[in-house]
Amino acid sequence: MAVVGIGTDLCSIERWQALCERRPGLVERILNPAERAVPPASQAARWAAKEALAKALGAPVGMSWLDSEVVRSPSGAPVFEMRGTVRARADELGITHVHLSLSHDGGLATAVVVCEAR
């Protein structure tokens, strides 16, 4: 497989929580319902994951944040479900696999994304 794109992002959990309080409508446009149901540190990591995925895809104009969703695989590892604008961009780039790593500690949440094509 060949690496098509790499993205990383870092999010302050405190800033994320303040954003959630100030602009709940914005959060609803960023996170899917199941993503909003997790604790704030995990929400911040999911936001970082979406940002990292956008970077790995070349930051396409018109991408809908709700078209990517961080879910758990049967093994418990975080993975993306992609649809709509995000799936279209991944298909355009020939992406066949997306690796995702999340972490949060010390008041920060981070995500790394690697997109591969065959």
Domain count, the chain: 1
Instruction: Read off the pLDDT of residues 42-61 as tens digits, 9 standing for 90 and up.
Output: 999 999 999 999 999 998 88
The pLDDT value recorded for residue 60 is 80
* Mean pLDDT over the full length of the chain: 96
Q: Please, where are the H alpha helices in 8-39?
A: 13-22, 24-30, 33-36
Query: Model-level pTM greater than 0.75?
Result: yes
Q: What angle do CA 47, 52, 57 make, to 5 degrees?
A: 125
Q: What CATH number is given to the structural domain containing 40?
A: 3.90.470.20
Domain that holds residue 35: 2-117
**Which segments of the chain have a pLDDT < 50?**
none
Q: What does the pLDDT read at residue 118?
A: 86
DSSP tag of 74: T
Q: Are the C-beta atoms of 27 and 36 separated by less than 8 Å?
A: yes
